[in-house]
Amino acid sequence: MLITRKKFLQISAGSIAGIALSNLWLPKLLHAANVKNQKGRLPVIWFQAQACSGCPVSFINTEYPGIDEVLIEVITLEFNPVIMGAQGDLAVGIIEDMIKNERGNYILVVDGSIPIHEDGLYCTVGEINEKPVTALEWINKISANSMAVVAVGSCATWGGIPAAPPNPTGAVPASKIIKDKPVINIPGCPPHPDWMVGTIVHVLKYGIPELDSLSRPVMFFGPDKIVHDNCELRQYFDTGIFAKDFGEVGCLYELGCKGPVAHCDVSTRGWNSQVNWCNRSGGPCIGCTEPFFPGGTGSGLYEKLPAAEVPGLEKINANANTIGIALGGAVVAGIGAHAAARIIATKYRQHKEEKNREKGTPYILKEDESEEEK
């Protein structure tokens, strides 16, 4: 992405986090960039605790609008440790100044889980009077003075990987710490940039968006946005073709795909200009937008979820197992003879491949062996 000199100056002038300059230079930058009216832009403190930095990297890769438009016209990103230039006392001073002078006027974005064991000492950010300040302390102080709180990423919304068993640091999501105001959850590992930017813009223009029972914006994670429903591999599930290994043709359900119980619009929105998404690239949905991610049910990323753990999954598992064993007459009749022949051929090929793997010899389709002949 190309950013012109003027846009760079506008981004830098509109946010102290843009570059590591003292306040002395900010008026000159404002004048140089001809930024005269900041009214309507929303100050944001993006605080990072136990996280991998994947969420802010995803955020800055927003395309429509681009990150330059977001930082110039929508928000002022006052603090973000991943992309800001300020450090040390200057960086800590930004947070303190916002808490003191912008009470009730900024959004707190929480990125990463917050450890509570050992009084939070597993994660400290900066020092005040030569004393380390824990993420737990910062979250409590910043959230108390914010107008809204947005938790981005599975770590901030559910606890994520840091909170997975045995969870030695006592990592918890933002909602376990912040009790005096609602927390908008935007899960994902990482979340799609549209989800983050769209939610922040909605808060700026219209207030807190409609949320589901898990405090996720309905416009991105509603009950009608089930990954499985719009997956391009759905036809294989419906006709009983299940891949047993990665790279095989078929539905990825047997390889741990959580699509039937995962809520988000990624299967229609796509990533990287809608070029790709998880299942299209050959990997099963790992359910990163759900509270059970990454291992809350005891199953691995590439193992089927236990039916008892997720409402409605028992029926799905039973259906998958039944279809996987044999194709019923009704299914064959419904998809037509030609399609049925291709399905049977694929099942035969998968059966042969599995048997030959057990013997240590690969099964190779002969050039003169057509699917119909098999």
Question: Which DSSP string do the residues of 242-282 spell out, in sequence order?
Answer: B-SSTTSSSBSGGGT--GGG-B-SHHHH-BTTTTB-TGGGT
Strand partners, 149: 108, 183
| pLDDT, the chain, mean | 79
Whether 202 shows a pLDDT value over 60: the answer reads: yes
Q: What is the pLDDT of residue 373?
A: 42
pLDDT of 325 higher than 60: no
Tens of pLDDT, residue by residue over 87-146, are: 888 888 989 999 999 888 999 999 999 999 999 999 999 998 889 999 999 999 999 999
Residue entry with tokens 């813009």? 201
Percent of the chain with pLDDT over 70: 70
> If you ran DSSP here, which 8-state letter would residue 226 be given?
B
For residue 273, what pLDDT is reported? 87
Of the candidates 50, 47, 59, the one whose C-alpha atom is nearest the C-alpha of residue 96 is 47
| Distance separating alpha carbons of residues 267 and 55, to the nearest angstrom | 19
Max avg pLDDT among 5-14, 95-104, 296-305: 95-104
pLDDT value, residue 125: 93
Q: Which of 278, 324, 284 is nearest to 304 (CA)?
A: 284
- The average pLDDT across 73-98 equals 87
Residue 328 to residues 240, 244, 249, 322, 332, Cα–Cα distance (Å): 10, 21, 20, 9, 7
Give the contacts of 86 (CB within 8 A, at least 6 positions apart). Answer: 16, 17, 19, 20, 94
**pLDDT tier at 19, thresholds 50, 70, 90:** very low
Q: Please tell me the predicted confidence (pLDDT) of residue 221.
A: 96
Segment holding 149, helix H or strand E: strand 148-152
Coil, strand or helix at 183:
strand
Q: Average the pLDDT over each of 3-12, 76-85, 259-268, 299-308 and give the range with the smallest value.
A: 3-12
- Which H or E run contains 235? helix 234-238
Task: Characterize the bridge pairing of strands 131-134 and 114-115.
Answer: unpaired
Span 139-174, pLDDT tens digits: 999 999 999 999 999 999 999 999 988 999 999 999
In this predicted structure, what is the pLDDT of residue 288? 94
Distance, CA of 308 to CA of 305 (rounded, Å): 9
